[in-house]
Amino acid sequence: MREHVPHLDGVVHSIGFAPQSVMGGNFMSGEWDDVSTAVHISSYSLKALAQAALPLMAKGSSIVGLTFDGRFAWPVYDWMGVAKAAMEAVNRYLARDLGQHGIRANLVSAGPIKTTAAKHIPGFEQMEGVWADRAPLGWDSSATEPTARTVTALLSDWFPATTGEMIHVDGGVHAMGQ
């Protein structure tokens, strides 16, 4: 790897996938093969990325992943929500195991954003539709800049003692009750 780059200051994990058969209200009918695909691609891949990047990372480096808060049972998200909850646990273990190398691992939990991936979530509009009403700061599902800025800040040296965290960029919805 070093023949291409001498070191990495940070890496971003921005991948998630679940077959449509395990989303859109299909939680109870989800079959293991499709569930395992969601967990493998959306959760385990964070660990795999960290392991692949580790030889090029030094003290002060950062791993940042993107998630959609897996603490809740969101409508239509089903097994993808479970996979994201697993990813959040993976992040905590990475923080523990990579901390000895001075490498930080954090997640950014963005609200619903109209991305290519969102187009493949059956019923995405259900989550997106109520978000702006629930967000104290409001929410624009087409605005990617707030999330990008947060990822950039976590990659920088501005958060030298922050690891194992999930930073919410959701207009404040995570802090509101029902």
The residues carrying an active-site annotation are 77, 84
In Å, how far are 11, 41, 175 from 48, measured between CA atoms?
A: 12, 10, 31
3-state SS, one letter per residue, for 60-124: EEEEEEEECCCCCCCCCCHHHHHHHHHHHHHHHHHHHHHHCCCCEEEEEEECCCCCCCHHHCCCH
Q: Which H or E element spans position 50?
A: helix 45-53
Strands ordered across the beta sheet of 8-13: 8-13, 57-67, 104-110, 166-169
- Please name which of 106, 43, 128 lies closest in space to residue 80, comparing C-alpha atoms: 43
3-state SS, one letter per residue, for 4-22: CCCCEEEEEECCCCCCHHH
